[in-house]
Chains A and B, each alone.
Chain A
Amino acid sequence: MKKIFLFLISFYQNFFSYIVKNITGLNNTCRYEQTCSQYARITIEKKGVLKGLPLVITRILNCQPFQKPAFKSKNKYI
């Protein structure tokens, strides 16, 4: 399970994100120092899928205009 997720993340980081960048013509501008995919990889690696995935989803959902980028994270891995 963990391996599948980590593989998917690395696939996204290595290939898919580049394709998305080229399609949309937008270079990545992350509001976070660690990008969501890096965060996802580290969190899932350390906490496992069951505990890590909710954190990752929260993190991704925080990336929108109505949420001010809060750099106080309760997660110690950030």
Chain B
Amino acid sequence: MNDILQFIINALSLGSLYALFALGLIMVFGILRLVNFAYGELIMVAGYTWYILQGTFIPLVGLLISAVVAAGLASVLTERVAFRPVRSNSMNAMLITSFAVSTLLQNMALVFVSPRPRAVDVPTWFHTSLNVGGLRIGVSNLIIIAISGLTLLALMLLMQRTRLGLTLRAASDDFRMLQLLGVRANQVIATAFLISGLLAGVAGFLWIGRIGSVSPTVGMAPLLVALIAIVVGGMSSLSGAIAGGFFMGALTIALQLILPQDLLAFRDAVIFAVVILVLVVRPQGLIKGRFATERIG
């Protein structure tokens, strides 16, 4: 019984983090049909912001906020500088641009900070655990679940209850029509990038707190996770991305328990084979939703 509860908590914690990663990626994809390969580097930006500002007077919450804001700004900046000029060209041009932006940001970290991982000061209580009726619950898991949960809730409120959310949802339905109603494309797209960056910031801060250090390639793993999650989720809706994120979290924890060590090394290969299979056999996703290959706008 305790094992099951333990599994649920671990899966929820990792899953909620993965759901945030996936949401950040689908936010931009939903509107531009662009898989932003530079998304992982926004997580890296959050990590380096933490690393650079730590040890100053700023408290941990302040570091979190700074990291989130930095990731959001970086996202908007990449849109303005790199993606906007390419937007009217082909889909491939956009994808390759995002790949170039990813390389650019990674190498800037390499040059201006260091190629080696840098430790962030994670408070010691983060890695302790509470004993609740014989069940050991990691503080890190609780914090990740709480912050991710709040962020998910805030995002849902934003999307469902505000004018901004309304335009973003409409844009992913039919961007051309939204423009015919007088909504300016640049604003919508910039907002989508901002939200994507903020999500990457929150999730990235938690992710880097979990692993304890930041390196130029720290964003690679979250990018891959987010990519799988949105494919599994059908690449069309926010709820699909969330479901895909939790699915990936549960799957990762489950495979860690089930697979023997030497096969565990091939886990990612197996998961990516599933991605290809899903794309080919069930493009609408494992969970639900529809898949649109056309890009509008």
Q: Do A and B come from one complex?
A: no
Query: Which residues of B are at the interface with A, using a C-beta cutoff of 8 A?
Result: none
